[in-house]
Amino acid sequence: MASGASSSPPLPVRSLAAAVVVLLLAARGEARPPHPLRGVRPLAFDEGYAQIFGSGNLALLRDGRRVRLALDESTGAGFASQDLFLHGFFSAAIKLPADYAAGVVVAFYLSNGDVYEKTHDELDFEFLGNVRGREWRVQTNVYGNGSTHAGREERYDLPFDPTDDFHHYSILWTSQRIIFYVDETPIREVVRTAAMGATFPSKPMSLYATIWDGSTWATLGGRYRVNYRYAPFVAEFADLVIRGCAVDPAGRDPRSAACEARAGLESLAVPAERRAAMAAFRRAHTSYSYCHDRRRYPVALAECGAEALLPARMFSPDGMRQHGRRHRGGRRGGAQDDVM
Distance of CA 61 to the CA centre of its chain: 23
Report long-range pairs for 257-262 (Cβ below 8 Å, ≥24 apart): 257/175, 259/86, 259/87, 260/87, 260/174, 260/175
Residue 247, CA atoms < 13 Å, CB-side half-sphere = 24
Distances (CA, A) of 279 to 72, 188, 275, 292: 39, 9, 6, 16
The strand pairing partners of 94, in sequence order, are 167, 237
126 is annotated as an active-site residue: yes
Q: If residue 258 lies in a helix (H) or strand (E), which one and from where to where?
A: helix 256-262
What is the C-alpha to C-alpha distance for residues 171 and 115, in angstroms, rounded to an integer? 21
What is the C-alpha to C-alpha distance for residues 333 and 321, in angstroms, rounded to an integer? 16
- Of 126, 153, 154, 260, the catalytic one is 126
CB-based contact 76:213 (threshold 8 Å) = yes
165 contact partners, CB below 8 Å, separation of at least 6: 31, 32, 34, 95
273 is annotated as an active-site residue: no
Residue 153 DSSP class: -
Q: If DSSP codes are grouped into helix, strand and coil, which group holds residue 209?
A: strand
From the list 37, 289, 315, 333, the residue with the least C-alpha distance to 184 is 37
From the list 209, 154, 179, the residue with the least C-alpha distance to 43 is 209
- Of 30, 117, 122, 236, the catalytic one is 122
Residues labelled as active-site residues: 122, 126
